[in-house]
Amino acid sequence: MNAKHLKVIDKAVALIEEARGLLEGARDDEQDYFDNMPEGIQNSDNGAKAQEAVSELEEACSALGGVLTYLDIASE
Give the residue-averaged pLDDT of 53-67.
98
Estimate the share of the chain in helix, then strand, then coil, as percent rounded to the nearest 5: 90, 0, 10
The H-or-E segment that residue 2 falls in is none
Taking the model in full, what pTM does it have?
0.89
Burial status of residue 12 (CB atoms within 10 A of its CB: 0-12, 13-18, 19 or more): middle
Whether the pLDDT of residue 69 is over 90: the answer is yes
Q: Contact, 60 vs 23, CB < 8 A?
A: yes
pLDDT of residue 38: 97
Count of the separate structural domains present in the chain: 1
Which residues, including other chains, have CB under 8 Å from residue 17's CB and lie 6 or more apart? Answer: 68
For residues 46-59, give the mean pLDDT.
98
Confidence of residue 71 (pLDDT cuts 50, 70, 90): very high
**43: which DSSP letter?**
T
Residue 8 has pLDDT above 90, yes or no: yes
pLDDT band at 1 (very low <50, low <70, confident <90, very high): confident
